[in-house]
């Protein structure tokens, strides 16, 4: 087997290793996409929490400064001011207070990837597989002869049938 076949087998094994590592390894495109998805989800959750925070800040400012808002909340809690008459109607559902949903807890998840060791083993396996394939091809084409099919080797003193002068 000539050198180009050895080099081709090594090249193919290295190519498979690099392809696996770039596609599914620890710093691969697949991991990058998973982390980008996590970033998008966290950014969305952060913006929702910031919106809730701004609403609560406005509500707090109104409760501290606006008398009408304070009176409205006091009426919801069944308080009355001097001179007001309270009329209770039974049979109606009580007004629900606004509950703010802050969402669920989002934790960092490690991306799923193929370990570097596995990528190297698979690349080495492919290199060996191609070496075996090239070796078997050389045997079948007759470039390498194994066993009893060797060409006869002449030993002893060679005798040539040449005309005498």
pLDDT computed for residue 74 by the predictor: 82
From the CB of residue 126, how many other CB atoms can be counted at a distance below 10 Å?
19
d(CA 70, CA 42): 36
The pLDDT assigned to 115 comes to: 93
Q: Place 125 in a pLDDT band, splitting at 50, 70 and 90.
A: very high
The predicted structure's pLDDT at residue 97: 63
38 in Cβ contact with 31 (< 8 Å): no
* Distance from the Cα of residue 124 to its chain's centroid: 24
Quick check: 149 pLDDT over 60? no
Tens of pLDDT, residues 13-45 = 999 999 999 999 999 999 999 999 999 999 998
User: What is residue 86's predicted lDDT score, i.e. its pLDDT?
Assistant: 67
Q: pTM for the whole thing?
A: 0.59
Q: In whole numbers, what is the pLDDT of the chain averaged over residues? A: 84
From 124, 157, 118, 94, select the one nearest 23 (Cα to Cα): 118
CB 151 within 8 Å of CB 48 = no
Kindly list the distances between the CA atom of residue 35 and the CA atoms of 41, 102, 113, 153, in Å, as whole numbers in the listed order: 10, 23, 12, 68
Tokens of 65: 């400064």
Q: What is the pLDDT of residue 130?
A: 93
pLDDT in tens, 44-66: 988 988 988 998 899 899 889 98
Alpha helices in 66-115 (DSSP H): 67-76
**H runs (alpha helix) in 66-159:** 67-76, 116-141
Q: What are phi and psi of 36, to 5 degrees?
A: -65, -40
């Amino acid at each position: 087997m000539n050198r180009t076949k050895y080099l081709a087998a090594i090249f193919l094994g290295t190519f498979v290793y690099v392809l696996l590592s770039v596609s599914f390894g620890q710093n691969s495109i697949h991991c990058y996409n998973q982390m980008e998805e996590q970033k998008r989800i966290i950014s969305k959750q952060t913006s929702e929490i910031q919106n809730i925070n701004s609403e609560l800040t406005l509500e707090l400012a109104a409760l501290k400064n606006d008398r009408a808002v304070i009176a409205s909340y006091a009426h919801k809690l069944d308080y009355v001011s001097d001179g007001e008459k309270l009329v209770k109607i039974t049979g109606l559902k009580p007004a629900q207070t606004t509950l703010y949903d802050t969402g669920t807890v989002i934790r960092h998840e490690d991306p799923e990837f193929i370990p570097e060791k596995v990528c190297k083993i698979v690349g080495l396996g492919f290199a060996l597989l191609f070496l075996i394939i090239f070796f078997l091809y050389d045997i079948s084409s007759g470039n390498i002869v194994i066993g009893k099919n060797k060409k006869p080797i002449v030993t002893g003193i060679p005798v040539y049938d040449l005309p005498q002068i």
